[in-house]
Amino acid sequence: MSVSHQFSHQELEKVGTKVVDFNRRKIKAIWDKELKTVFVEELDGKPIPSSTAFAFVYPAFFENLKR
């Protein structure tokens, strides 16, 4: 079973960082002002691989596609 967590970019842009419980440990999400994205890391600073989902935007860019 995989574990995931959703971080709101809008919320993190306002607060800067957020510590959450994840898979029985605490992790930290950090807003990067320059790249305008979220980085996730262990509390000791070790990066945690993550990805941002953009699937919701495709209909806006490809509204003329026929299914």
45 or 6, greater pLDDT: 45
Q: For 13-41, how does the pLDDT look when each residue is reduced to its tens digit (9 = 90+)?
A: 999 999 999 999 999 999 999 988 899 99
d(CA 38, CA 16): 9
d(CA 65, CA 8): 29
The structural domains of the chain, with segments of one domain joined by +, span 9-61
Q: Mapping DSSP to helix (H, G, I), strand (E, B) and coil, where does residue 21 land?
A: strand
17 beta partners: 30
Q: Mapping DSSP to helix (H, G, I), strand (E, B) and coil, where does residue 61 land?
A: helix
pTM: 0.72
Q: Mapping DSSP to helix (H, G, I), strand (E, B) and coil, where does residue 3 land?
A: coil
d(CA 31, CA 37): 6
| pLDDT of 62 above 80 | no
